[in-house]
Amino acid sequence: MEGDNVYIPHVMKIEKVIQETGNIKTFHFNFKDQSQKDKFTFKSGQFAEYSIFGEGEATFCVSSSPTRMDHLEFSVMKAGKVTAAIHELQEGDEIGFRGPYGNWFPLDLLQGKNLVFVGGGIGLAPLRSLIWNVIDNRDSYGDVIVLYGARSPADLSFKYDLEAWDKGDAIDMYTTVDRGDDAWTGRVGLIPPVLEEIGPSAQDTVAITCGPPIMIKFTLQSLAKLGFTPEQIVTTLEMKMKCGIGKCGRCNIGNIYVCKDGPVFTYAQIQNFLSDEF
């Protein structure tokens, strides 16, 4: 952060814009000031507050991996005022960035384990940071499965990652869509039943999942059927945030602050807080 004021954002320059789907874009960005870049570190799973002058701030994870620091990436689904303004950004434009905030995926829990990643839609954004991190430290983990799903082929994000993971031998990649189209020759089916069909063993395995609440709800049930305990399941929570640093009380669920205690939790940590939706 510049000076002592944690609310002052870094100035970042957009280097590349990728249209992922009709309403999701990924932005490659970099520090305008090289000396700030040299000092910056983050961990997979952390988020930041991104600001557009005159529009406001919004919360997004850093979707690139800390093992690849040439540039940073974030991916944005259009939801309202700030995300619509971010979708207007072009290469060369500047944005504000403060962070990284929050906790991160527990690499100490994951080391030496088999990993099962289950992502839906834009939920692959935080997972891909960890997946690339795992690939770049491949010897530290057992078998790695990635299951990613979206509503239709046109809704699949990060197709370049899916292709790279499918081609490589570091992970077993499964992609599914709820509904195919004329050109789609891949798997069709909702994520939870496809996960049960793949049937990963829960022995020495941790599942990491992120996606829309309805997907998480049924994925948790499928993981339980496969023998995963709540301690073996890691997920991320989203609550509307303001300060991002545990000061404003905007993001609490019960007595946990999602911005400070999360956004990454084991299911064991949060199962008692979650609403019936889960």
Ligand X SMILES: Cc1cc2nc3c(=O)[nH]c(=O)nc-3n(C[C@H](O)[C@H](O)[C@H](O)COP(=O)(O)OP(=O)(O)OC[C@H]3O[C@@H](n4cnc5c(N)ncnc54)[C@H](O)[C@@H]3O)c2cc1C
- Total residues binding ligand FES (CB under 6 A): 12
Q: Residue 58 and residue 35: Cα distance in Å, rounded? A: 25
If one asks whether residue 18 binds ligand X (CB under 6 A), the answer comes out as no
Phi, psi (deg, nearest 5) at residue 68 = -135, 85
User: C-alpha angle 191/116/237, rounded to 5°?
Assistant: 75
Tell me the two tokens of residue 29. Answer: 């960005």
Could you tell me which stretch among 119-127, 132-140, 175-183, 247-255 binds ligand FES (CB under 6 A)?
247-255
In the list ligand X, ligand FES, none, the entry touching 240 (Cβ below 5 to 8 angstroms by class) is: ligand X
CB 263 within 8 A of CB 237: yes
Residue 213, both tokens:
């609440």
Phi-psi region of 83 (alpha: psi -120 to 50; beta: other; left: phi over 0): alpha
C-alpha to C-alpha distances, 22 to 61, 128, 178, 188, nearest whole angstrom = 20, 20, 17, 20
Q: Per CB under 6 A, which region of 79-87, 179-187, 249-257, 267-275 contacts ligand FES?
A: 249-257
41: burial class by Cβ within 10 Å (0-12, 13-18, 19+)?
exposed
Nearest residue (CB) to ligand FES, 122 versus 259: 259
Give yes or no for a contact between 47 and 62, defined as CB atoms under 8 angstroms apart.
yes
**32 touches, from ligand X, ligand FES, none (C-beta below 5 to 8 Å by class):** none
Under the binding rule (CB under 6 A), the answer on residue 59 touching ligand X is yes
Binding residues for ligand X restricted to 179-238, rule: CB under 6 A: 238
CA–CA dist 14, 16 (Å, integer): 6
Contact 51, 101 (CB under 8 A): no
Cβ nearer to ligand X, comparing 208 with 241: 241
Interaction of residue 241 with ligand FES, rule CB under 6 A: yes
Q: Token pair for residue 171? A: 């992970």
Based on the shown chain and the rule CB under 6 A, indicate whether residue 110 belongs to the binding site for ligand X: no
Among 259, 264, 270, 274, binds ligand FES (CB under 6 A): 259
Strand partners, 175: 148
- Per-residue x/- mask for ligand FES, residues 21 to 40, rule CB under 6 A? --------------------
Residue 60 binding ligand FES, by CB under 6 A: no
Buried b (16+ CB within 10 A) or exposed e, 141-157: beebbbbbbbeebebbb
One of 183, 249, 255, 272 touching ligand FES (CB under 6 A): 249
**8 is an interface residue for ligand FES by CB under 6 A:** no
172 belongs to the binding site for ligand X (CB under 6 A): no
- Which residue in this structure is represented by tokens 């945030």? 241
Nearest distance, CB of residue 57 and ligand FES, angstroms:
11
| Interface mask toward ligand FES for 209-238; x: CB under 6 A | ------------------------------
List residues near ligand X by CB under 6 A: 47, 58-61, 63, 75-77, 79-83, 122, 125, 238-241, 263
List residues near ligand FES by CB under 6 A: 241-244, 246-251, 257, 259
